[in-house]
Chains A and B, each alone.
Chain A
């Protein structure tokens, strides 16, 4: 190290020079800061002022209240009940695992709730949209969460209105249910209107009338803090509640029908022929739609899905069955219409029928036949198969198929049953296209009995029966009667069914009455205690086809391979009020299984007509007609 004398004066000079320089630098840098502040606070003031205002004030969408659904007598079928639920805004949670662990210790989280939350976490959602993790909190749970709110950033207890179906199982299929909106629905539905909405109709009326029931979104201008907590409501534009629906369905009738099935698999559809209003629409067995509102548990869902009785399946609008002999009144009319026979022509029924140049024996359901005195009326009453083989052969598919088509078979004619299937009305062209073969005479014979390719849904069958009861005048079937008091209009009903001799409607009706009244009638057991004139037709549909020369032995068949029992009816015959189609799967004997169900429902409806209380129209929004 060099050793030299320090020069104190020089050192002080150096320092002073540098200090003055430092002071200038400080001044310069402070000017830079001041300049930055001027830039932010003067030049860009307006930009940041609006940014700050946007921070503070938020436009929050307010979900409208979903419309209520009433039955035809004003009984509430779908309502909105307040419920508290726990939701999480993931963006605001700092430590998700710790938060979930704390919630678990406070109110308990089932593995299922945890799994569902994690799944929703991965799905697309709007930024800062809350995910509900637990529903139906009780007061103790709410209190526990509130006390620990400090440790639960981003966790909120929300009060919301949750859909509830007081009639539960009775209306599960037809009314449907609402559930969490999924991504597909989010894309499909109006982004603006559904901004605050979390649940939408999944099936049934809830789905078909989703837009009407939903209402219009409202807005709230709110002051929030950074955590999104609302501190003050500055402005409010109230949401427009959804429309209330009044249905054609009759809750009590639905109940009667449901109970009449006693848990058997099957379906019933009842229609008022004068209006086309669906009075009852039942698919049995059913399920509790309330399970689906807040997301059904895996366990419950698997039970429903895996049940052999397929309770989730809507048999009424989507179940496809061969119509069997319930087709005979319609096909009988087609014989008269095509002129191949008349009411008086009699044929001989030995119990079987054969075509020329065909080995195959077409059997009658009655082994030894119905005798030699079978005209059209008797063929209906006794459900004589050989008569229909013969006449079908004479009329041919080209006469039968277009005539049946006029009753709505093979298409979906309902006005508002959203997911109804068209089922199948076969024709020459259909067979060529789908089976690759031409139409054989044998196909026509099968069709004459409602067997073969033809398929119907219970809704179609009831609709056809209703049109029949209405003497060919079309009223499309509809579930909803009024939307907010405005009657549902039908602008494009199908053309009425015209027949050459309109008196044939009545005559065929009387023949169907014979099914009940006549001592040979296939449903004569239903006559007991009958207070009104009931017209009906039974039918059976084969589940397993019977081979040639083989005896039909029901005892040997497993229960699920037994024939389906079908039944159509309308009453009273002179002024029809209700037309019904019933199917009991594997019910075997229509007269013993399906028939009594139809009888019970008809009894209940006609007696209720006699003593219906006057409706208070203003209660159900019926007073604002034309609104």
Chain B
């Protein structure tokens, strides 16, 4: 295999003859799949935005920034992430506290932090990287599989940022961030007994959440999920329209730019969270299956790359990041197709939005770094 041949050369030779990708610390296979996904996303966005080229251009700029971030981050040795993890985590916690005190609101939630009025950012986005890093850092310094004390400490680390984000309130992000932390625990070898116990606790706590913690709009989402027809013009509208869009696409789809549900604006949030419905309506089951296969290949490749890492920290971090990526995909498509309640989660690398793209590409930068720096 020519790849192996090059790798051998790389391992021995110092700099001479190394491929461009190797020098840039980019895995060509993952990179190619991401690029394909991005292209699919751009074409879908063009249709979903009502052929708004301006929006597509902006999305392309976001992707340029995202790939730039990936490229920069990939150059760092994972060792640096391990050193930075506690500091990044601490900074993230402080930023989250600041959001609650002086955050900027939008649509009834305080999620943004304005820096000197110059630009705004969401500290919860930092935590998407910082939480798995911190957990990987913590677990890597402990014995694996973790014992009870370590598990409790790890859970505390996970639920401090989770609760802070939940208070913004942003249920979707907080659940996904806690998922990324829990995934580190799972990859660290959390015993099945604890997992079974945790599941039982969740079932016991759920009613308490319903009556104590959840906001009215969150309850409404759950109720609507259970019976979307109960409020067809209110909150059930989204899910009814998205299911209609997907279902009417059939096997072959209505064709690019031909989806009536999206082009005639029946589908809400069609260029952001519900973009998969546009894709499914226009490309049909065939397109959806191909897209799912593409996601599957990206995730499998990511897991493989994480498994190749040189130390526990890198493995745990990489594993958590790539599976979190999958969780995004699953939650988003599950929500739009009506098997999960509506939570505001974008479809990774397809939905419109700069923040999500930059965060995801940064995560892929970390995975690239982990894989490309695997040789000690």
Contacts and interface: CB of A to CB of B under 8 A. Distances in A.
Interface of A: 2, 4, 6, 8, 10-12, 14-16, 18-19, 22-23, 26-27, 29-30, 32-34, 36-38, 40-42, 44-45, 47-49, 51-53, 55-56, 91, 223-227, 231
Contacts, number: 149
A204 B188 CA distance: 88
Contacts of B186: 18, 22
B247 A44 contact: yes
A34 B295 CA distance: 12
Interface in B139-167: 143-145
B156 to A, nearest CB: 15
Contact of A33 (B260, B265, B312, B334): B334
Given A49-B247, A55-B261, 11 more contacts: A26-B303, A40-B243, A40-B280, A40-B338, A41-B280, A42-B250, A48-B247, A49-B250, A53-B260, A223-B264, A224-B264
Given A12-B315, A14-B189, A18-B187, A41 B144 contact: no
B99 interface: no
A49 B248 contact: yes
Interface of A is mostly: helix
A435 B245 CA distance: 75
Contacts of B243: 40, 48
A15 B249 contact: no
Interface of B is mostly: helix
A45 B333 CA distance: 18
B285 A42 contact: yes
A154 to B, nearest CB: 13
25 contacts: A2-B143, A6-B312, A11-B312, A11-B315, A14-B144, A14-B189, A15-B316, A18-B189, A19-B187, A26-B299, A30-B292, A33-B337, A34-B289, A36-B334, A40-B337, A41-B249, A41-B280, A42-B250, A45-B248, A48-B243, A48-B248, A52-B266, A55-B261, A56-B260, A231-B264
A37 B290 CA distance: 12
Q: How large is the interface on B (under 10, 10 to 19, 20 to 34, 35 or more residues)?
A: 35 or more
A26 B251 contact: no
A48 B244 contact: yes
Contact of A40 (B233, B247, B264, B292): B247
A555 B326 CA distance: 102
Contact of A23 (B261, B289, B300, B334): B300
A15 B315 contact: yes
B319 A37 contact: no
Interface in B247-275: 247-251, 260-261, 264-267
B264 A15 contact: no
B296 A8 contact: no
B89 to A, nearest CB: 20
A14 B315 CA distance: 11
In the A-B complex, the 4 residue pairs with the closest CB atoms: A48-B247, A52-B248, A14-B189, A226-B265
Contacts of B289: 34, 37
A231 B265 CA distance: 12
Interface string B109-148: 0000000000000000000000000000000000111000
B69 interface: no
B330 interface: yes
Contact of B143 (A6, A27, A37): A6
B361 interface: no
B56 interface: no
B188 A14 contact: yes
B306 interface: yes
Given A27-B296, A44-B247, A225-B265, A4 B312 contact: no
A594 B312 CA distance: 114
